[in-house]
A and B are shown apart, each in its own frame.
Chain A
């Protein structure tokens, strides 16, 4: 079973981050919210693995993993 990658995994991280910001440039808050929502859905579909998606949701909620 695959698990969520939480170690650095994007080559050219600065480039990617700039591209993400650029995509939002000039958008209203509502347009940016819509773009983010579409992006989440596109990425989620690409991942496709239900367990990984659940882990990603947990990670995004900044929930620490249970260690007990």
Chain B
């Protein structure tokens, strides 16, 4: 196997520049939706819109997938969203599934854990996969949709230079190898990453906290018999006073994170002659490996005050940034587009009032704050900020070796869980006495087996009335909004996840598979009111 001498996937243009007719048009061409950025979030947003029939153009200043790997760990909710977008299966097939982890402190292994994922789900709890594969699958999906006639386009080497909100549309100026051209968007989705030029062009703030620390992130190719487990070290002999992480990806690639501290020379530390001895100390002198990619990061937790600015809507890292402990960046960005695309479509076609888009702000800011909170706490545990926080941290680790009680306190990253939109203006108050809390209004639907198939692939993309042991019309239409019924049997999994103590239930499920409302039985008036509320008409 000699994959290192071949061109790496992130070195080959995936959406090469082609001249667009827009560049020769006499007047600026106006598109329904323009997305800035062909990262995972921009591509996800574009596919979601195009699947609903919305014409969309993606502009990216690059023409390749993400350089190096970056995100490696994807949570079940992301896989479910990607499945709705048409590439969840590829992810699972290629990805590494894992449930086991080990925690080391100093020279000892202090404990092991098994995530013990709940059974009865189509998708695994987590997979590890290089970010460039995710982007590759998304681009493949775009090509497949184009072949089927969908109006979705990716324009490589199209750098956005100027953005101006004109009230009922947005003017853009784009630079290409053939020079600049103007273009217009009815709606602009800015997915241009943590450094978001769109944000700067609009003079918008991005405030939060910088963690005064540096991490060396390396992907190495090695044939070693480390098991498929997540290994995390606190204060190991090979990286004194700091932390380290080892995690497996497909193709014999391993992700290594080494904390380096604050006062370092980044350019020096990145040089192979400095990186390789560090990795040898960690992996053992005899282990043969090759460096695929190395980078040094300082992490931050911050977000925009508002994600929606009239016709310009921010999503992904452009809107919020977290430290990677807990794998929340791409995972939360995909929840952004999941939340946004159906709302934008309903607003565009006039079915829902424009104010529906403000619920994107309310719900996803709630999500971003949850992620920032979790990832700040992990960072504080991993890199204690004071003498006493280090003493307490070490006490937790020492105790965890001997007593089970201390293990939940060990925080090497709380893995991303989907956000429940408690308190969202789109929710109708819970009206299912005895219903399980995990499916209360605002929750993402939990998957469950339906015989040979699964529940989630049958939900989403439209409003659904999920009925369990309750009568309801097969379909209904409220002011042009179509709702289909899905009747399922009360199997033990459905009972546990959707009925609880109740005998029967009717759930109104949003296009993003979140619960809008629930009742014990069907009532036309109540469903209509809940539907109106769920599309921002109240």
Interface residues, chain A, CB within 8 Å of chain B? 33-34, 37-38, 40-42, 45
Q: How far is the CB of B231 from chain A (nearest CB, A)?
A: 24
B396 at the interface (CB under 8 A from A): yes
Tell whether, in the assembled complex, residue B392 and residue A37 are in contact, meaning their CB atoms are under 8 Å apart.
yes
Tell whether, in the assembled complex, residue A38 and residue B405 are in contact, meaning their CB atoms are under 8 Å apart.
no
B394 at the interface (CB under 8 A from A): yes
| A41 to B409 Cα, complex, angstroms | 10
B391 at the interface (CB under 8 A from A): yes
Tell whether, in the assembled complex, residue A34 and residue B395 are in contact, meaning their CB atoms are under 8 Å apart.
yes
| A38 to B394 Cα, complex, angstroms | 9
Q: Point out the residues of chain A lying under 8 angstroms from B403, CB to CB.
A: 42
Is chain A's binding surface mostly helix, strand, loop or mixed? helix
B406 at the interface (CB under 8 A from A): yes
| A38 to B406 Cα, complex, angstroms | 10
B404-454 interface (Cβ within 8 A of A): 405-406, 409
Mask for B367-401, Cβ within 8 A of A = 1, else 0?
00000000000000000000010011011101100
Q: Point out the residues of chain A lying under 8 angstroms from B398, CB to CB.
A: 34, 38
| A45 to B398 Cα, complex, angstroms | 15
Q: How far is the CB of A55 from chain B (nearest CB, A)?
A: 19
Tell whether, in the assembled complex, residue A45 and residue B395 are in contact, meaning their CB atoms are under 8 Å apart.
no
Residue of A nearest to B406 (CB): A41
Q: How far is the CB of A20 from chain B (nearest CB, A)?
A: 16
Tell whether, in the assembled complex, residue B396 and residue A41 are in contact, meaning their CB atoms are under 8 Å apart.
yes
Q: Point out the residues of chain B lying under 8 angstroms from A40, CB to CB.
A: 392, 395
Tell whether, in the assembled complex, residue B405 and residue A37 are in contact, meaning their CB atoms are under 8 Å apart.
no
Q: Which of B391, B396, B405 contacts A33 (CB 8 A)?
A: B391
Decide: A34 near B391, CB < 8 A? Known: A41-B409, A45-B405. yes
23 cross-chain CB contacts under 8 A: A33-B388, A33-B391, A34-B391, A34-B394, A34-B395, A37-B391, A37-B392, A37-B394, A37-B395, A38-B395, A38-B398, A38-B399, A40-B392, A40-B395, A41-B392, A41-B395, A41-B396, A41-B399, A41-B406, A41-B409, A42-B405, A45-B405, A45-B406
Q: Point out the residues of chain A lying under 8 angstroms from B406, CB to CB.
A: 41, 45
Is chain B's binding surface mostly helix, strand, loop or mixed? helix
Q: How far is the CB of B442 from chain A (nearest CB, A)?
A: 23
Q: Point out the residues of chain A lying under 8 angstroms from B391, CB to CB.
A: 33-34, 37
Q: Point out the residues of chain A lying under 8 angstroms from B405, CB to CB.
A: 42, 45
Q: Point out the residues of chain A lying under 8 angstroms from B388, CB to CB.
A: 33
Q: Which 4 A-B residue pairs are closest in the complex by CB-CB distance? A: A37-B395, A45-B405, A38-B395, A37-B391
Residue of A nearest to B409 (CB): A41
Q: How far is the CB of A40 from chain B (nearest CB, A)?
A: 8
Inter-chain pairs besides A38-B395, A40-B395, A41-B395, 15 sampled, C-beta below 8 Å: A33-B388, A33-B391, A34-B391, A34-B394, A34-B398, A37-B391, A37-B394, A37-B395, A38-B398, A38-B399, A40-B392, A41-B392, A41-B396, A41-B399, A42-B403
Q: How far is the CB of B405 from chain A (nearest CB, A)?
A: 4
| A41 to B404 Cα, complex, angstroms | 12
Residue of A nearest to B396 (CB): A41
Q: Point out the residues of chain A lying under 8 angstroms from B399, CB to CB.
A: 38, 41-42
Q: Point out the residues of chain B lying under 8 angstroms from A38, CB to CB.
A: 395, 398-399
Q: Point out the residues of chain A lying under 8 angstroms from B394, CB to CB.
A: 34, 37
| A45 to B409 Cα, complex, angstroms | 10
Q: Point out the residues of chain B lying under 8 angstroms from A33, CB to CB.
A: 388, 391
| A33 to B387 Cα, complex, angstroms | 10
Q: Which of B392, B395, B399, B406 has the most CB of A within 10 A?
A: B395
| A34 to B395 Cα, complex, angstroms | 6
| A13 to B403 Cα, complex, angstroms | 27
| A38 to B396 Cα, complex, angstroms | 7
Q: Point out the residues of chain A lying under 8 angstroms from B395, CB to CB.
A: 34, 37-38, 40-41
Residue of B nearest to A30 (CB): B391
Q: How far is the CB of B235 from chain A (nearest CB, A)?
A: 13
Q: How far is the CB of B397 from chain A (nearest CB, A)?
A: 10
Residue of A nearest to B404 (CB): A45
Q: Which of A33, A34, A41, A45 has the most CB of B within 10 A?
A: A41
Residue of B nearest to A42 (CB): B399
Q: How far is the CB of B108 from chain A (nearest CB, A)?
A: 15
| A37 to B394 Cα, complex, angstroms | 9
Q: Point out the residues of chain B lying under 8 angstroms from A37, CB to CB.
A: 391-392, 394-395
Q: Which of A33, A37, A40, A45 has the most CB of B within 10 A?
A: A37
Q: How far is the CB of A34 from chain B (nearest CB, A)?
A: 6
Q: Point out the residues of chain B lying under 8 angstroms from A34, CB to CB.
A: 391, 394-395, 398
Mask for B134-157, Cβ within 8 A of A = 1, else 0?
000000000000000000000000
Q: How far is the CB of A45 from chain B (nearest CB, A)?
A: 4
Q: How far is the CB of B359 from chain A (nearest CB, A)?
A: 32
Residue of B nearest to A48 (CB): B405
Q: How far is the CB of A27 from chain B (nearest CB, A)?
A: 13
| A42 to B402 Cα, complex, angstroms | 11
Q: How far is the CB of A44 from chain B (nearest CB, A)?
A: 9
| A37 to B399 Cα, complex, angstroms | 10
Q: How far is the CB of A35 from chain B (nearest CB, A)?
A: 9
| A45 to B402 Cα, complex, angstroms | 14
Residue of A nearest to B394 (CB): A34
Residue of B nearest to A38 (CB): B395
